[in-house]
Amino acid sequence: MSTTPPLAMVEQPIATAGLRRGRGDRSVKIRGYRAGFWVYAGLALVLVSAVFPYYWSFLIGSGDASTINDPNMSWIPGGNFFANAASVLNDPAVNFWPALWNSIYSSTLIAISVVVTSTLAGWAFAKLRFPGSKGLLVFVVATMAVPMQLGVVPLYILFSDLGWTGNVGAIIIPSLTSAFGVFWMTQYLQQTVPDELIEAARVDGATMFRTFWTVAVPAARPAAAMLFLFTFVTAWNNFFWPFIVLDRRDPTLPVALSLLQSNYFVDYSVVLAGVLLATIPLLLLFAVAGKQLVSGIMAGAVKG
């Protein structure tokens, strides 16, 4: 959606540049014509630094306990990755499988709830007129500056009163809504749904809910998909609150990762094998939806 217009703008100059290519187009130095060698070199450097930590964790994770202390360490991975991975997976103190399951279902529930509540509220803020709408929206946006730390003490007290500390529910409930999500949906629907469409639906006698269902929901779909992705990634990687409230025996993946280092292992081969294992699910998601994530960030920026 948002990526097409800029492409159209860039494509045009290439055509002209192509005509002059070959006989040294030194005269044409218009920015955006053709990327020189150094641009690719620079981007390759960025790519290498983005990939290197992944490779490093595989390198150490495939060695044994002595690898890390070996000053003449080889840059070729050793053969112990599966053994190290197995010791993470089978270690009862790490709880890898329950952690994986907890991460999957808590992130999914959170993302669904954020998408639903944000689409409903975003629709009202974007297209329906009601007293107090402006003020409420400004208020919601302002709360985006409130740090998570400001709520944790009472939330902890509340959940321990309920006997929920240690329960994954305690990390799902506080994340069920997102001020950013409401802002995102409001912006999106405001710009994509023409007012005439709503008026037409009203004239045809559609109820408000029917209008929402037939106009807003289909229009919101691309933005909803991106909001889902973002919320999922954020919830998956969240650490501060789960670290506080979850039981060490029933963690999410980031909490399990922190246990790898703090409670148990000093063996970095096992720790980094575990880090890579815990990162694989999101890498898979990224392989499938990375493009969407990219265009989501870029779309959000234009409106932000």
Partner 1 sequence: MTATDVRPDAPEAPPQRKEKPVRVLSFSQNLSRWDLKFSPYLYISPFFILFAIVGLFPIAYTAVISFMEWDLVRNSGEFIGFGQYVWILENPHFWTALRNTFSIFLLSSVPQLLLAVFIAAMLDKNIRAKTFWRTSVLLPYVMAPVAVALIFSNMFGDNHGLVNNILTDLGLPAVPWHKDPFWSHVAIATMVNFRWTGYNALILLAAMQAVPREYYEAATVDGAGAFRQFWSITLPSLRPTLIFVIITSTIGGLQIFDEPSQFDNTGEGGAAQQWLTISLFLYNIGWRDWNFGRAAALAWILFLIILVIGLINLLVTRRLVRDEGGRGVTIPRKRGLSRKGQGR
Residues 110-129 that bind partner 1 (CB under 8 A): 113, 116-118, 120-121, 123-125, 128-129
Write the CA distances from 68 to 65, 76, 222, 268, integer angstroms: 7, 13, 46, 7
Q: Which of 18, 47, 74, 200 binds partner 1 (CB under 8 A)?
A: 47
Question: CA–CA separation, 286 vs 293, rounded Å?
Answer: 8
Q: Cβ contacts of residue 113 below 8 Å, gap of 6+?
A: 176, 177
CA distance 264 to 283: 26
Q: Which of 15, 19, 76, 145 binds partner 1 (CB under 8 A)?
A: 145
- Contact letters (x/-) for partner 1, 184-203, by CB under 8 A? -------x------------
Nearer Cβ to partner 1, position 82 or 213?
213
Residue 299 burial (CB count, 10 A):
20
Q: Does residue 153 touch partner 1 according to CB under 8 A?
A: yes
294 binding partner 1? (CB under 8 A):
yes
Assess contact for 258 and 238: CB atoms under 8 A: no
Q: Where in 69-88 is the site for partner 1 (CB under 8 A)?
A: 69-71, 73
**What's the closest the beta carbon of residue 23 comes to partner 1, in angstroms?**
19
CB of 146 to partner 1, least distance (A): 7
Inter-axis angle of helices 268-303 and 96-127, to 10 degrees? 10
Radius of gyration of the chain (CA): 25
**Would you count residue 143 as binding partner 1 (CB under 8 A)?**
yes
Site for partner 1 in 242-271 (CB under 8 A): 243-244, 253-254, 257-258, 260-262, 266, 268, 271
101 binds partner 1 (CB under 8 A): no
Distance CA 61, CA 267 (A): 10
Give the span between the Cα atoms of 144 and 184, in whole angstroms.
12
Q: Please, what is the minimum distance in Å from the beta carbon of residue 280 to partner 1? A: 11
- Is 152:241 a contact under the CB 8 Å cutoff? yes
Exactly one of 86, 93, 138, 148 binds partner 1 (CB under 8 A); which one? 148
**Which range binds partner 1 by CB under 8 A, 82-90, 93-101, 170-178, 218-226?**
170-178
Q: Among 63-71, 77-85, 104-112, 218-226, which window interacts with partner 1 (CB under 8 A)? A: 63-71
Q: 182 near 120, Cβ under 8 Å?
A: no
Total of residues contacting partner 1 (CB under 8 A): 118
Minimum distance from residue 235 beta carbon to partner 1 (Å): 11
Q: How far apart are CA 91 and CA 170, in angstroms?
A: 25
Binding-site member from 42, 169, 194, 218 for partner 1 (CB under 8 A): 42
